[in-house]
Amino acid sequence: MNSQIRRVFLVLAALFVALVGMTSYWLWKAPDLEARRGNPTLVVRQVTIERGRIYAADGRTLLAANRRRRVQGRTWYLRRYPAKELVAQTIGYSTLSRSRSGLEESLNDFLTGSNSDLHTVLRRTLDRLEGLTQRGNDVVTTIDARAQQVAMDALAGKCGAAVALEPATGHVLVIASQPSFDPNLVERHFRRAASAPGAPCRPAAPLLDRATQGLYIPGSTFKVVTAAAALDSGTFTPASEFVDKGYCVEYGKKVTNFADQSGPEVFGRVDFATALEHSINSVFCQVGQRLGPLVVLEYAKRFGFYSKPPLETPAGERAASGLYDRGRLLFPSDPNAVDPGRLAFGQERLLVTPLQMAMVAAAIADGGLVMKPTLLDRIVAPDGTIVTEPAPEELGRAVKPETAAELTAMMRRVVESGTGIVAQIPGIPVAGKTGTAETGRRDENDTWFIAFAPADAPRFAIAVALQNQAGTGAQTAAPIAKAILQALLGVNT
């Protein structure tokens, strides 16, 4: 029987070799397995790093911090968000159960200290050699915590967003989106975080960043872009004369003036500046027909339309503005494919984000220059050294400085004596433009206000958009924009 016993042993030994082989196979496959969702080793590696904190511009208000927890002899750093709903969509979340979003996702390398600048690499290596906890870099954002709070309070109970920029630098001072959510709930109570039962819109989508992803019909606020094209191309001046018959003929059909214009229903002979002041659709209809849709859209492109604004949030959380056809961005090659009159006063199939309209206001305020919008003031290493402090960056010139000056004067008249008088701030000149866009459903208008102040030396530009409104932009959005501007200017209300 001995030869049989020997053979059985050899078979068993071969099976055991196969076991070691199989174990080695999975080692060899490790790089592939590591990237898979649900592999806890990767997640745990992330939470054993002391993630950098995220601050508002004051460098004190904490937007994201850590909570320590001892798990089996190891310190885990789990995220907590002291500011709760305040900037929830933009800051995002970093959790064990649902990966990441917002700046938590896009700045992950900095926050975990796995970015590759020399100082961080050196520090990381030293920490590892000494067996110390790896620490990430802190992020100081450009967000003005006080004005942000004012914006969130003013938007509370509504569906909409507000964005305020510093025209000269592109710094995002306010980026508010309502309904919002408490990022602390995402880890364990995701369903609760993702629902906003009281919100007056469907879907309520509190996780959606309406400031950068919300696409709304711009309505009359787009007249600023049309006017920029009209003036900058030299086709019209603020003094150009028009005849307002109360309607404009498009393809043989009448397009009547809209309810949010101020003054009489039919103006008769008016100049261009007065047309913007009172938001007269029939005049802009004529301007659009004269310029043609491609010129208007070309100028829109210069303001940043047709590309995702290069903010630091993840690309998937930003949307490009422009004409949309069946859910897809459309830049027409054939001018006849677009209705130029309706395009000129912001209807047609235009969809824009609040961030994009804030960039339009900021560009006019900054003499025609479009600045790259940024949320990043500086990134600081744990030892206090500055890892990066991005300088303001120009994206390009939208219009000539003279055009910007003319347009500023026209927009001042909107607030002084036109549709936007509610936005007046005592002692400070404000330039603005209202917008009320019909969505085709009664009492569900998209309403807007874009503005900058002080108009003579602009420091702040703003856009406010609301959805599902029964009133006009002047009635609904302008008071909110005014409140945020006052907070930014430090004037008491």
- Residue 18 touching other proteins (CB under 8 A): yes
| 220 flagged as catalytic | yes
Q: Could you tell me how many residues of this chain bind other proteins (CB under 8 A)?
A: 39
Exactly one of 26, 98, 254, 385 binds other proteins (CB under 8 A); which one?
Answer: 26
Binding segment for other proteins (CB under 8 A), chosen from 9-17, 111-119, 208-216, 293-301, is 9-17
CB of 75 to other proteins, least distance (A): 11
- Residue 15 touching other proteins (CB under 8 A): yes
Whichever of 41 and 125 has its CB closer to other proteins, that residue is 41
> Restricting to residues 73-102, which ones interact with other proteins according to CB under 8 A?
73-74, 76, 78, 96
CA nearest neighbour of 276 among 238, 231, 234: 238
CB of 188 to other proteins, least distance (A): 10
Binding segment for other proteins (CB under 8 A), chosen from 64-72, 302-310, 433-441, 445-453, is 64-72
Spatial separation of the C-alpha atoms in residues 25 and 21, rounded to whole Å: 6
CB of 74 to other proteins, least distance (A): 8
- Residue 41 touching other proteins (CB under 8 A): yes
- Residue 36 touching other proteins (CB under 8 A): yes
CB of 428 to other proteins, least distance (A): 52
Spatial separation of the C-alpha atoms in residues 378 and 15, rounded to whole Å: 59
Catalytic residue, from 106, 220, 279, 282: name it: 220
Q: What secondary structure letter does DSSP report for 312?
A: S
- Report yes or no: 262 and 279 within 8 Å, Cβ to Cβ: yes
Q: Give how far Cα 276 sits from Cα of 93, 224, 425, 433, Å.
A: 42, 8, 20, 8
CB of 325 to other proteins, least distance (A): 38
The residues, any chain, with a CB within 8 Å of residue 220's CB and separated by 6 or more, are 258, 260, 279, 281, 345, 346, 419, 433, 434, 435, 436, 437, 448, 473
Exactly one of 58, 71, 268, 316 binds other proteins (CB under 8 A); which one?
Answer: 71
DSSP string spanning 128-195? HHHTPPPB--EEEE---HHHHHHHHHHHTTS-EEEEEE-TTT-BEEEEEEES---GGGTTT-HHHHT-
CB of 125 to other proteins, least distance (A): 19
Whichever of 38 and 234 has its CB closer to other proteins, that residue is 38
Spatial separation of the C-alpha atoms in residues 16 and 12, rounded to whole Å: 6
Exactly one of 5, 35, 118, 129 binds other proteins (CB under 8 A); which one?
Answer: 5
Spatial separation of the C-alpha atoms in residues 1 and 486, rounded to whole Å: 98
Taking the alpha carbons of 261, 264, 266, 272 in that order, is the dihedral positive or negative? negative
Binding segment for other proteins (CB under 8 A), chosen from 1-9, 289-297, 315-323, 406-414, is 1-9
| Bond preceding residue 179 cis, omega within 30 of 0 | yes
Spatial separation of the C-alpha atoms in residues 355 and 372, rounded to whole Å: 11
| Residue carrying the six token digits 């807007």 | 448
Q: Which residues bind other proteins (CB under 8 A)?
A: 1-9, 12-13, 15-16, 18-20, 22-24, 26-27, 29-30, 33-34, 36, 38-41, 44, 69, 71-74, 76, 78, 96
- List residues with catalytic annotation: 220
